[in-house]
Amino acid sequence: MSSHQYFTRVYSRLRKIHIIDSIYNKNSFLYREISLMLCLLLLNTCSSLTEQERKAKLIQIFHSTFDSSRSSKSAVLLIHSDRLEIHTKASAGAVKNKNDYLATNVDQPFHIASVGKLFTAALIFKEIESNKIKLDDKVESILGKERLRGLFVFKNVDYSHEVTIAQLLNHTSGVDDYFESTSDSKKGLIHEIISEPNRFWTPQDLIEYTRSQQSALSRPGTEFHYSDTGYVLLGLILEKINRKPFEQILEQKIFQPFNLKHTYMHLRSKPQIKTSLSLSPIFLMNQDVTNFQSISADWAGGGLISTTEDLLKFMKALTSGKIISKESYNSMKGNYKFLDGIQYGYGLMNVKFGEMSILIPNIANLEGHSGILGTHLFYIPEFDTTIVANFGSSEDIDSSYEMLYWILSELESINTIHQKSNNQEPKL
């Protein structure tokens, strides 16, 4: 494909994509990317990029995203594919280490935010496979009436007796989100995290916050409402079944068996191997909350620290049937609408850029999860490829999704070149 054809294809996709409404903003990442492509087109209209050049472009896309970030101070990326013969790692920015700043290491530990929901969901499916629980089990039968009191009252009717484990997993239980309420009339705890930095939040505190400060958004099983409160309840279910703290369950059933030596629950446990690398900075609403005790508010919904390599190990084990069966993994997929082009299942997010607008041609789908800090763990079945990224800032989640789109476009081209070089018919 010539540079002209390549630019025309990418431009036609991006100028219409919903998440890229800033494309004509001269300060935006995408504007600069397109400007760069135009320059390359003028300089070399007849050449096409080789496979190695496209692999190098993956790193350029990452650095362009970081350079255009709103508040990210440190970022990491890992792209791995046995099929495409890729194992690319990159880092950007700096991390404070005692009284100095050091360049971000590619193995820098970071807060994985809601990517942690994949871990919680995997643990639930492990218990299902052990016949300890079922998806349609009533939560009340496990946690009791008092624990659910006031959480599922909708239009003056208490529906707590109807709520199932499946509804907590796929965010259809109706319970509000303690972290960032989806109701316009209710507040979220994200503001308390910033205003009360020394407060340590227990799971019981988080449940009580939803009970006292929020209201149910719908009857169970009728609507999708993303809820960290629902995942706190899942964590409590796991503790009740296993009779031990959630962080110990993670350690014994995932971290140790699958060699995740640098992964642990923030402020509640320690990694198997101590590292000299500092925790990557965490920015919520442009506020540095890295050392806040209040970050303890992120629990079974995503309170883990990890690295790109550990998350790659986890995703490979999850998708290959080692943590749970392949049948269970496939059942985690679903089609509840989260946002345009993003569907949700039982703890698994599916990103379909081609469904964000009828004007965007189809491109490979992602399955995995993302987090508010511009944190991503996604698997691409079409290319047998895993992408891990973190920007550490709630202000850069949109640009990090833009980055994923650009990376997917490059991987699509790499896959085509790779198939031709191996005398395979490329997918149409």
Tens digit of pLDDT for each residue in 338-355? 988 999 999 999 999 988
In a domain, residue 290? The reply is no
> Within 10 A of 155 (CB to CB), how many other CB atoms are there?
9
> Is residue 359 pLDDT above 90, yes or no?
no
Distance CA 417, CA 138 (A): 51
Same domain for 235 and 365, yes or no, is: no
**How confident is residue 427, by pLDDT bands cut at 50, 70 and 90?**
low
pLDDT at 251 over 60: yes
Nearest to 77 by CA among 298, 372, 365, 280: 280
Judgement on whether residues 219 and 127 belong to the same structural domain of the protein: yes
User: Using CA atoms, how far apart are residues 239 and 9, in angstroms rounded to an integer?
Assistant: 51
Residue 380, in any domain of the structure = yes
Beta bridge partner(s), residue 97: 100
Is 308 a domain residue?
A: no
Q: What angle do CA 336, 187, 397 make, to 5 degrees?
A: 55
Q: What is the pLDDT of residues 22-68, one digit of tens each?
A: 333 444 444 444 444 444 444 343 347 888 898 999 999 999 999 99
- Select from 257, 285, 316 the last residue of a domain: 257
Could you write out the three-class secondary structure of 377-415? EEEECCCCEEEEEECCEHHHHHHHHHHHHHHHHHHHHHH
> How high is the pLDDT of residue 5?
34
Q: Looking at the structure, tell me whether residues 219 and 91 fall in a common domain.
A: no
Residue 259 is predicted with a pLDDT of: 98
**192 and 210 belong to one structural domain:** yes
Segments forming the whole domain that contains residue 162: 116-257
CA 10 to chain CA centroid, nearest Å: 25
Same domain, 69 and 134: no
Query: Is the model's pLDDT at 275 over the cut of 90?
Result: yes
Q: Return d(Cα 244, Cα 250) in angstroms, integer.
A: 10
Q: Region 206-216: what's the mean pLDDT?
A: 96
| pTM across the whole model | 0.89
Same domain, residue pair 233 and 167: yes
Among residues 81, 101, 108, which one has the least CA distance to residue 390?
Answer: 108
Does residue 250 share a domain with residue 123? yes
For residue 4, pLDDT over 70 is answered with no
Query: What CATH number does the domain containing 151 carry?
Result: 3.40.710.10
In this structure, how many other beta carbons lie within 10 angstroms of the beta carbon of residue 352?
Answer: 17
Q: Do 216 and 240 fall within a single domain?
A: yes
Query: Does residue 364 sit in the same domain as residue 408?
Result: yes
376-399 pLDDT, tens digit each: 999 999 999 999 999 999 999 989
User: Is 427 contained in some domain?
Assistant: no
Q: Can you tell me the mean pLDDT for 301-313?
A: 97
| Cβ count near 216 (within 10 Å) | 24
Q: Is 249 contained in some domain?
A: yes
Q: Specify if 177 maps to a domain.
A: yes
| Residue that finishes a domain, picked among 238, 257, 276 | 257
Q: Report the range of poorest mean pLDDT among 1-10, 48-57, 352-361, 364-373.
A: 1-10
At residue 166, the pLDDT reads 98
| Structural contact between residues 74 and 104, judged by C-beta atoms closer than 8 angstroms | yes
Q: Are residues 347 and 401 located together in one domain of the fold?
A: yes
> How many domains in the chain?
2
46 and 177 in a single domain? The answer is: no
Measured between alpha carbons, how far is 22 from 279 in angstroms, rounded to an integer? 31
DSSP SS3 for 116: helix
- Report the alpha-carbon distance of residue 415 to residue 382 in Å, rounded: 9
- Going by pLDDT thresholds of 50, 70 and 90, the confidence category of residue 419 is confident
> Got the DSSP string for 263-331?
-EETTT---SS--SSPPPP-EETTEE-TT-GGGGG--TTT-EEE-HHHHHHHHHHHHTTSSS-HHHHHH
Answer whether residue 294 is part of any domain. Answer: no
Asked whether the predicted pLDDT for residue 114 surpasses 70, the reply is yes
b/e string for 293-303 if b means 16 or more Cβ within 10 A? Answer: ebbbbbbbbbb
Query: Pick from 199, 226, 257: which residue ends a domain?
Result: 257
The Cβ-side half-sphere exposure at 272, using a 13 Å CA radius, reads 16
Six token digits for residue 228: 């960290």
Contact criterion met (CB below 8 Å) for 171 and 121? no
**Per-residue pLDDT at 177 exceeds 90:** yes
Q: Considering only 36-50, 207-221, 264-278, 414-428, which range has the smallest mean pLDDT?
A: 36-50
Least confident span in 17-21, 64-68, 365-369, 376-380: 17-21
Q: What pLDDT score was predicted for residue 121?
A: 98
Residue 219: pLDDT band by 50, 70, 90 thresholds? very high
> pLDDT band at residue 425, thresholds of 50, 70 and 90?
low
Categorise residue 364: left if φ over 0, alpha if ψ from -120 to 50, beta otherwise.
Answer: beta
Residue 30 CA neighbour count, 13 Å, CB half: 27
DSSP assigned state of 132: S
Each residue of 128-145: pLDDT tens digit?
A: 999 999 999 999 999 999
Residue 328 resides in a domain: no
Q: Are residues 338 and 391 in the same domain?
A: yes
Asked which of 179-183, 251-255, 312-316, 409-413 is least confident by mean pLDDT, the reply is: 179-183
% the chain with pLDDT above 90: 75
